[in-house]
Structure 1
């Protein structure tokens, strides 16, 4: 697309950091920064991201949402998660979103996203989605308990450029929904794609382990679980652990 700026460098500490320093995308739909290897790739919170050099898609995408109020910034996280979920599902046949924005195939993690928004006044000026998708990595040596890649699931090598083309297409689709104010539709799509959206599963919070089902995710981002005894518990990121 002519309204997308593409940047590629062989190695960087962080593609999100790279985009924070880039200023040549005025008026563009999105700016896409890719690398073959990140020396300091990270996920949400204190999480890190393991990736072999040249094996996976490591990308940050900066968007300029139109008139998005700061209170609705979670819509950008939903748009990004849905775009990655669509991309993975097209390549593997299935995918779900593990709250808030990891992508799972079955009970295994194939992608993670770090979402960072800049606020100007009461609106979102820019939103950067730092995305890692495991594509052609056959084994994982790090501490992640349940990683998986496209090649492990399909047995086929997939060009990372093909994954990127699909991803940018889907991000443009969902970003257009945000720009046109279709927040409720976007939110319902997100809820319908959630990992563990039905059934009782094991979780752990500061009080210990419990069984619960997903009640909802609020538009602002918190996860609401319904415990086996009917009580509702609401959590911000990192306040509850999925036991897998």
Structure 2
């Protein structure tokens, strides 16, 4: 593969790459695709306020920044879609059965191999910048936290990988998807995202504030809301954290 050129800030240990990069954007102009790569994050964060477990030097923990001035704030979920697709495409080079678990976890079969946390800085209808922190399990062989279903690429394939090679491939894929958004190919990105979803076909088990139910995914709205249709044909719409998969 080609050596993708992008600005890289490499630090041994940091509290959070997202926090570091966001603070940098507050102080100065930071180029698109600037990456902060850390060997260890003491306060790595994920969705729902979770922490991200990662042994030093074994995985990929990084953040990157974009300045998507051409995307309306109401369509900011597109940034989550292209990041998810770029990770999926990257990992699919090394193994099969990679999918996107709504909104942006990356799964191998029914196990989580990657999580991300996107934080957008907004002004009225404009996105000033978008910082996305990503953790991909690459070479970790044992997980110690209470996370229910982690898996690494090495656990799947039995092979050791160079995390930087995977980072380069990811940024290359991300650039391609970002160009699609620049060119107004939003609907194509939407279609690719929906086609890549975990449990995209058939009825599966979910849980909301009312209880457990079976439903199928029938749509993802532009704001990222998922539409689930239960076995009685009733459609339910959920934003992030309002519904969870029962695996």
| Count of matched residue pairs | 244
Which secondary structure does the structure 1 equivalent of 2:65 belong to? strand
For 1:24-173, what aligned pairs fall within 5 Å after superposition? 26=29, 28-173=31-176
2:18 aligns to what?
Answer: 16
CA distance in 1, matches of 2:4, 2:192: 28
Q: Is the CA contact (8 Å cut-off) linking 2:138 and 2:161 kept in structure 1?
A: yes
Distance in 2 of aligned mates of 1:49 and 1:236: 22
Farther off after superposition, 25-34 or 48-57:
25-34
Q: 1:91 & 1:66 partners in 2: Cα distance?
A: 34
How far apart, CA to CA, are the structure 2 residues paired with 1:70 and 1:108? 32
CA contact (8 A) 1:66 1:179 kept: no
Structure 2 runs not aligned, ≥5 long: none
- Distance of 1:66 and 1:181 partners within structure 2: 13
Does the residue aligned with 2:92 lie in a helix, a strand or coil? Answer: helix
Alpha-carbon shift at residue 177 of structure 1 (Å): 1.3
Q: Distance in 1 between matches of 2:154 and 2:192?
A: 27
Q: Secondary structure at the match of 1:11?
A: strand
| Structure 1 residue 25 displacement after superposition | 7.4
Does the C-alpha gap of structure 1 residues 127 and 211 become closer, same or farther in structure 2, counting only changes over 3 Å?
same
1:104/1:2 CA distance change after superposition, 3 Å: closer
Question: Contact 2:98/2:107 (CA < 8 Å) preserved in 1?
Answer: yes
CA distance in structure 2 between the aligned counterparts of 1:18 and 1:84, rounded to whole angstroms? 22
1:182-203 CA distance string (max 9 Å, x none): 1111111100000000011111
Taking structure 1 as reference, are residues 75 and 48 closer, same or farther at Cα in structure 2, changes over 3 Å only?
same
Taking the aligned partners of 2:65 and 2:127, their CA distance within structure 1 comes to 12
TM-score by length of structure 1 reads 0.96
Paired position in structure 2 for 1:5 = 7
Q: Post-superposition shift, 1:121?
A: 3.5
- Alpha-carbon distance, 1:2 to partner: 8.1
- Deviation track 1:90-136 (CA, whole Å, cap 9, x = no partner) reads 12223100000000010000000101111234221211110000000
How far apart, in 2, do the equivalents of 1:119 and 1:181 lie? 21
2:69, 2:181 → 1: CA distance?
8
The alignment yields a C-alpha RMSD, in angstroms, of 1.5
Residue 179 in 1 paired to residue 185 in 2?
no
Q: Partners in 1 of 2:39 and 2:159 — Cα distance?
A: 20
> SS where residue 12 of structure 2 aligns?
strand
- The CA deviation at 1:210 is 0.7
| 8 A contact 1:3–1:30 mirrored in 2 | no
Distance in 2 of aligned mates of 1:197 and 1:71: 24
Contact 1:70–1:123, Cα closer than 8 Å, also in 2: yes
